[in-house]
Structure 1
């Protein structure tokens, strides 16, 4: 009887341990779940783009995008015309972004959700701008801009394959400006004593 009493608790304990181990395995499996390694998509908003994202693990990915950026901005200082807001049209751009997602497991297997940090490397071709300002012969005219921006962003899942993404960063740029016949100079954030704050608001769909 004593042996029987000893075996019964051990049996219950074994069942509990088995259930606990099963729950732990299932929990670890869910915790280590990753989004799909390769994903294509489109984004519409401040940046209208086609994109490709390569997932390198639960917390890392590399994203490349190409499309049109809405070139509009607000300045704390007035320009020569006394304006603070400027609209520069839709400018073709290409970007490369290594991202670190710090918010853990994603709610979708097509994209990471939650917060992330990145350094965005960007190239814009101002000379190909659509609906941009007009220039007369001899005017200083931006040709292209190279920039990088440490950025914080957050991706909100809307459905299994769509999301809303918001981000803001600190941008540092170098712009080639043409004037006269083939002459040019470089306009930089350092020379102008400014730091831009690039903001993105987009709705994305993944395939």
Structure 2
């Protein structure tokens, strides 16, 4: 799993040293996005011509169910994310006459997320949410429709760690896990 993280860091190092990029990512863009599981507010700030730092705060959603006790439910919990993104095909898109506005392009990123145990919105009683921290190398695409609307998809596999509750609740299980990022979102850029 760590080899994927090293590979992503390698690609970012190449992007930082490459000066051939003439098309650049936007200086700063602000937007909102939603998908199957959540609602997010984000900002992408330019670090180099091809790298943007995405910061995001939102609510991740989860669903569960059990036929054994007929318990079904949902939850919403806060998530904080920092994600450096390398948009690696901006010049190719310009050469083909395609848009690059609002960072429309393919990207490789290292998505770092933290789910704090601040609050949980749920339809079930006595939910013990255990916070977690994840680092997931991700490949994705971002495209814009018109001037303001966008869609985005991404996939990645990385590392996750559960954080035990400070109130004395003990977690029984593996604290280190394989984390998956599979998202499909639509949004609006201001």
Structure 1, unaligned stretches of length 5 or more? 1-30, 74-78
Give the distance between the partners of 2:170 and 2:163, measured in 1 at CA: 7
Partner of 1:39: 29
Matches within 5 A, 1:82-97: 88-97=74-83
TM-score normalised by structure 2 residue count: 0.70
CA 1:81–1:61 in 2, change beyond 3 Å: closer, same or farther? farther
Structure 1 counterpart SS, 2:121: coil
Instruction: Deviation per CA, 1:91-125: give whole Å up to 9, x if none.
Output: 1110000011112246143x211211111110113
Structure 1 counterpart SS, 2:48: coil
Partner of 2:178: 195
Give the distance between the partners of 1:90 and 1:165, measured in 2 at CA: 21
Partner of 1:98: 84
Partner of 1:157: 144
Q: Does residue 114 of structure 1 match 2:105?
A: yes
Superposition CA RMSD, Å: 3.1
Instruction: Deviation per CA, 1:69-105: give whole Å up to 9, x if none.
Output: 12248xxxxx9959xxx86411111000001111224
Give the distance between the partners of 1:47 and 1:129, measured in 2 at CA: 13
Give the distance between the partners of 1:143 and 1:169, measured in 2 at CA: 22
TM-score normalised by structure 1 residue count: 0.65
Q: Which has the higher helix share?
A: 1
Number of matched residues? 162
- Choose which of 46, 60, 64 in structure 2 pairs with 1:55: 46
Q: Please report how far the alpha carbon of residue 53 of structure 1 lies from its aligned counterpart in structure 2 after TM superposition.
A: 0.8
Partner of 1:144: 131
Instruction: Deviation per CA, 1:134-189: give whole Å up to 9, x if none.
Output: 327xxxx333111111111111221222210001111321112449x624347546
Partner of 1:19: none
